[in-house]
Amino acid sequence: MMRIGSIIGGEERNDRNRETLAVKNPYNGEVVAEIVLAGEEELDDAVKSSLSVFKNTMKMMPAYERARILAKAAELLEEQKEDFAEIIVQEAGKPIKHSWAEIMRSIQILRYASELSKHLTGEVLQMEADVRGSDRLGFVKRVPVGVVAAITPFNFPLNLSLHKIAPAIAAGNTVVFKPAEKTPVSAYKLVNLFEEAGLPDGVINLVLGTGETVGRALVTHKDVHKITFTGSLAVGKMIRETAGFKKVTMELGSNSPNLIFEDADLDQAVESLLTAAFAFSGQVCVSAQRIYVHEDVYDKFLGKFVEAARKLKIGDPRDEETDIGPMIEAAAAKRAKEWIEEARSQGAVIETGGELDGNTLSPTIITEVEKGMKVVTDEAFAPLVSVMPFKTEEEAVNRTNDSIYGLQAGVFTKDIDRAFRVAESLEMGGVWINESSAYRQDNYPYGGVKQSGLGREGVKYAMDEMTEIKFIGVKLAK
């Protein structure tokens, strides 16, 4: 049995007498590892270590050295990809094909961060633009914020952790890393991998504990300069209210919309939306949850979509053929099933799916939904999607925007004018044309408007948010 503890200043806190928490495989209930739970004392040690290492080591580390370590980490992840994929399957229940995709994206994040660490440039200002400015020089630099608190969710345990850790290191910060308690093993392995890559002790301090104790204490700690959080709206709100003057980036939830116009390539839309709605059982922040289809092609699209969903293979996430595995825990699957039944009792039609077997919910397509039903209004984070007809472009845009969320949307049409018109009108952090809401690359600015978040990730953009702008002026002698 693997027993793992927090890693603070390069030392693992694996005390035999401490309380532990079992990490269970959501598919078969087997215990994957036991984590030694950290408390507020360890959290405080971790922040102290991060602050000291920031002041004494990281601030002085040249960009070429940060770039070298990040490149080495990418190389090591490539070498260890089988181990990481296996762990993500075990601790998150993510089907192996999607675990592979996560690892390949994670390797790229490290490579982007390595390259970008050498391009943290500023500017020279035209000081004489001001009537008092002759004989003065002005420089704008980007400097690291200091200690970054990285709080991450269970659904992309490696990729979303690296979206915080890699840019933080590239920009010269130190990190206190608090991963989700359900997926701490990949986090533990990642910190070890960085050590192997030559990252000095204490640049990343890993704290394995619950959100309620160490997460909360991390957010309010006086020596933390920046919080970068990915997770639910409820926790995000709490963090925002208690973070004080710290800089905050929030990547929260959504009920992502996709619009299919009458001229769209329906086969392409079906293929793309099948993955978007059901990959990792819909436990993806940009999972397709609402599909608006023009009434002229509604029946045709729905027929093809239902037929394709019925062919998805449900089973063991270790099996290369499996499309749908378990949800993260029984309570999440039960909650989603209750939402489906509630919608049914309110008049919705379950076109396919809705069957619960242990932690696994079959891919569910719902029609005849009304505004206000939880399945369309709230974030489902489950393998369920509603398909709704619309008559006009204006109606589709208005219904799409009628949400507290605004993360990413997909628009399917062959009309370039309409595509751009609709993209401009949607209240979203990002819009894809002829691609689903769920597609993401790790090099573009990604994040939400409204209650989907604050700030942006995507390595370059995260680095902007993990640095301060500092002005240095010089008055030259006459």
Alpha-helical runs (H) found in 266-392:
266-278, 298-310, 330-345, 374-377
Question: Cβ of residue 381: shortest distance to ligand NAP, in angstroms?
Answer: 5
Question: Cβ of residue 67: shortest distance to ligand NAP, in angstroms?
Answer: 26
- 261/339 with CB nearer ligand NAP: 339
Whole-angstrom distance, CA of residue 272 vs CA of residue 248: 33
User: What tokens appear for 236 in the block?
Assistant: 């995000």
- 66/216 with CB nearer ligand NAP: 216
Question: Cβ of residue 114: shortest distance to ligand NAP, in angstroms?
Answer: 22
Q: Which positions touch ligand NAP (CB under 6 A)?
A: 151-155, 160, 178-182, 210-212, 215-216, 219, 230-232, 235, 238-239, 251-253, 285, 379, 381, 407, 448, 453
Alpha-helical runs (H) found in 156-262:
159-170, 184-196, 216-220, 233-242
CA dihedral 124, 128, 134, 135 (to 10 degrees): 10
User: What tokens appear for 408 in the block?
Assistant: 């990413």
- 10/445 with CB nearer ligand NAP: 445
Active site residue 251: yes
- 236/363 with CB nearer ligand NAP: 236
Question: Cβ of residue 147: shortest distance to ligand NAP, in angstroms?
Answer: 15
CA dihedral 288, 231, 469, 191 (to 10 degrees): -110
- 153/354 with CB nearer ligand NAP: 153
Task: Give the chain's length.
Answer: 478
Active site residue 295: no
Which amino acid, residue 262? E
Q: Is the CB of residue 289 less than 8 Å from the CB of residue 339?
A: no
Q: Is the dihedral of CA 191, 317, 254, 116 positive or negative?
A: positive
Residue 404 phi, psi (nearest 5): -75, -15
Whole-angstrom distance, CA of residue 160 vs CA of residue 83: 18
- 288/293 with CB nearer ligand NAP: 288
Question: Cβ of residue 354: shortest distance to ligand NAP, in angstroms?
Answer: 21
Question: DSSP character for 28?
Answer: T
Q: Which member of 91, 102, 285, 465 is catalytic? A: 285
Question: Cβ of residue 344: shortest distance to ligand NAP, in angstroms?
Answer: 24
- 413/436 with CB nearer ligand NAP: 436
Q: Which member of 181, 251, 457, 465 is catalytic? A: 251
Distance from the first to the final alpha carbon of the chain: 73
Whole-angstrom distance, CA of residue 20 vs CA of residue 3: 9
Question: Cβ of residue 87: shortest distance to ligand NAP, in angstroms?
Answer: 16
DSSP string, 79-106: HTHHHHHHHHHHHH---HHHHHHHHHHH
So which residues are the catalytic ones? 251, 285
